[in-house]
Structure 1
Amino acid sequence: MGRLRDSWGRYRDRRMGTKYPDSGVTSLPGWQVKAALLALNGTGVPFHVRVAFGGEKADLVAEWKIVLPGDSDFANGAPVERSMRARMRLSAAGREVHVLDQVREVGLVGDPPRPGLSRRWSRGPRVTRARYWSYEKGPDGRRHKVVLFDARDMRDPLRNTVLGAGWTWRGVRRL
């Protein structure tokens, strides 16, 4: 029974995106982990980390907003504003950071663009696998793939900071 429980735990950890720090890494206190995550703001990352407001049920929130060109299957080909949010709660007892990822897409209409009626929303560990790209003509006249949005650009710096502090990065479905 114990081996079955262990394999279920490993499966759940892999599915939720849980990562553990390397052995031998000294765990930092919670206030230093929080300070390290807030210090990511000045490093040229495409997102912003802030202290959570009272009703957000988190300690820190990382946000990234981008406007993507029109997509044929959503918002009738209009541009789409995509916002990705990672709500993080620090659990000092277990030396873990619980993370809930959320993605919201809103179709833009009019000139100047404003939010329309087309909307999509999702949450959980699977939303961090999103990647959007387009093809543009390069200086050599050939088409080149240009990545517009890659969720790893937000998730990886956050996760690496937490793991470097000796804490566990645990994906959750609700905070």
Structure 2
Amino acid sequence: MGLFDKLTGTQHPPEGVSPVPGQDLREALFGLNRPEVPYVIRYGGGERCDLLAEWRLTEPAWQQVFVRSQISHTVQIRMRLDHKEHEVRALEEQWELSRVGTPTRLQKTSAYTRGPSRTVSRRWTLGRGADGHLEAAETFRFDSAEMREPLRDTVLRSGWTWRGVVFGKL
């Protein structure tokens, strides 16, 4: 792995793993969609990509989780499948969020970054344990890697390269 690959988050599949057909990879990525995960993977269509993974900010059940937890960023990963090279070119984009309206909802602001980055947000509750000592319990955790890592790992297990895009076109 070269320096540029490290900067872009590019990873190659393990030796000896044969690439699956593109349709099989696409189905495996869609297979990551489950009601309990805070992101959704869909066709890219108007987003200038083949597949798009994004946080479920607009879905009522998830929106309240994001608002209550005071999340301040959202992540979107646009993916283009290169069938000839057996690689997924992935552009990770991040926006700051603001809270607007009553009831409060989240809205993207103009603060924008691109390229692999990590946002972690945690909420802790302090209390006394049974023995009277002060204890901390994690009550909420948000980590942008919880979306990127399952996508990347699925691509690598499928024998394709995960190529991070920072500069230029997807």
**1:159/1:80 Cα in 2 relative to 1: closer, same or farther (>3 Å)?**
closer
Map of 1:144 onto structure 2: 137
| Paired residue secondary structure (2:34) | helix
CA distance in structure 2 between the aligned counterparts of 1:98 and 1:30, rounded to whole angstroms: 13
> Of residues 17, 22, 35 in structure 1, which corresponds to 2:14?
22
**Partner SS for 2:102:** coil
Residue aligned with 1:41, SS: coil
Structure 2 counterpart of 1:75: none
Distance in 1 (CA, whole Å) between partners of 2:16 and 2:125 is 46
Q: 1:43 to 1:130 in 2, by over 3 A?
A: same
SS state at 2:111 partner: strand
Q: CA 1:115–1:159 in structure 2 vs 1: closer, same or farther (change >3 Å)?
A: closer
Which residue number corresponds to residue 33 of structure 1? 25
TM-score, L = length of structure 1: 0.77
| d(CA) in 2 for partners of 1:99, 1:117 | 21
Evaluate the alpha carbon distance shift between residue 43 and residue 121 of structure 1 in structure 2; reply closer, same or farther with a 3 A threshold: same
For structure 1, the 5+ residue unaligned runs are 1-8, 71-78
The answer to whether the Cα contact below 8 Å between 1:80 and 1:107 also exists between their aligned partners in 2 is no
Name the structure 2 match of 1:164.
157
Task: Pick closer, same or farther for the CA change 1:52–1:108 going to 2, 3 Å.
Answer: same
Kindly tell me the number of residue pairs found equivalent between the two proteins: 156
Q: Which TM-score applies when normalising by structure 2? A: 0.79
Q: Look up the SS of the partner of 1:93 in the other structure.
A: coil
Q: Given the alignment, which residue of 5, 11, 23 partners 1:13?
A: 5
